[in-house]
């Protein structure tokens, strides 16, 4: 294993063991659930949206290290972003894990999940939280 792969593994395990932004959000603007039956991962994503910006992002759920660390790092990254910026991050993350494109610098430590592109069975684990995010943004957009 290369040094970079070791660092990536360490990042994933740290977020999976002590996820950031874990726990429900009181009075969310939107709440979306996601389920990945092939691995048994579950996510509930809570967003508070104020003036078109994600003021708070939290999640609950359980599952494998990839699904939980992805949700942990995603909720860190999207806080304070506009909905359009969050959708752009969603696109960049999917390009990395689905199309195997090199990680965009805007994704920060989510680059740790770039190797998932080589593990087709785990792509749904990595994208679970991000698909919930896309759905949540669509729901908020419809309510405006
Ligand atoms: Zn999984």
How many other CB atoms are there within 10 angstroms of residue 53's CB atom?
Answer: 15
Which residue do the tokens 């660092």 mark? 7
What is the pTM assigned to this prediction? 0.95
- Give the residue numbers spanning the domain of 34: 3-143
Ligand 1 centroid–CA 66 distance in Å is 6
Per-residue pLDDT of 44-73, as tens digits, reads 999 999 999 999 999 999 999 999 999 999
Per-residue pLDDT of 83-112, as tens digits, reads 999 999 999 999 999 999 999 999 999 999
pLDDT number for residue 143? 67
State the Cα–Cα distance between residues 75 and 91, nearest whole angstrom: 15
User: How many domains would you assign to the chain?
Assistant: 1
Ligand 1 centroid–CA 128 distance in Å is 9
How many residues are recorded in the chain?
144
Name the maximum alpha-carbon separation found in the chain: 48
Ligand 1 centroid–CA 13 distance in Å is 13
CATH number of the CATH domain containing 19? 3.90.1010.10
Ligand 1 centroid–CA 9 distance in Å is 15
């Amino acid at each position: 294993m290369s040094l970079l792969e070791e660092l990536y593994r360490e990042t994933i395990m740290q977020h999976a063991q002590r996820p950031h932004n874990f726990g429900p959000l009181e009075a969310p603007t939107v709440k979306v659930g996601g389920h990945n039956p092939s691995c048994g991962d579950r996510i509930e994503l809570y967003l508070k949206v104020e003036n078109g910006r994600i003021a708070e992002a939290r999640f609950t759920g359980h599952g494998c290290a990839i699904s939980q660390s992805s949700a942990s790092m995603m909720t860190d990254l999207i806080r304070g972003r506009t909905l359009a910026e969050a959708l752009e991050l969603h696109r960049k993350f999917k390009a990395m894990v689905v199309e195997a494109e090199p990680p965009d610098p805007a994704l920060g430590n989510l680059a740790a999940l770039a190797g998932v592109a080589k593990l087709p069975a785990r792509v749904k684990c990595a994208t679970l939280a991000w698909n919930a995010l896309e759905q949540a943004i669509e729901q908020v957009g419809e309510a405006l």
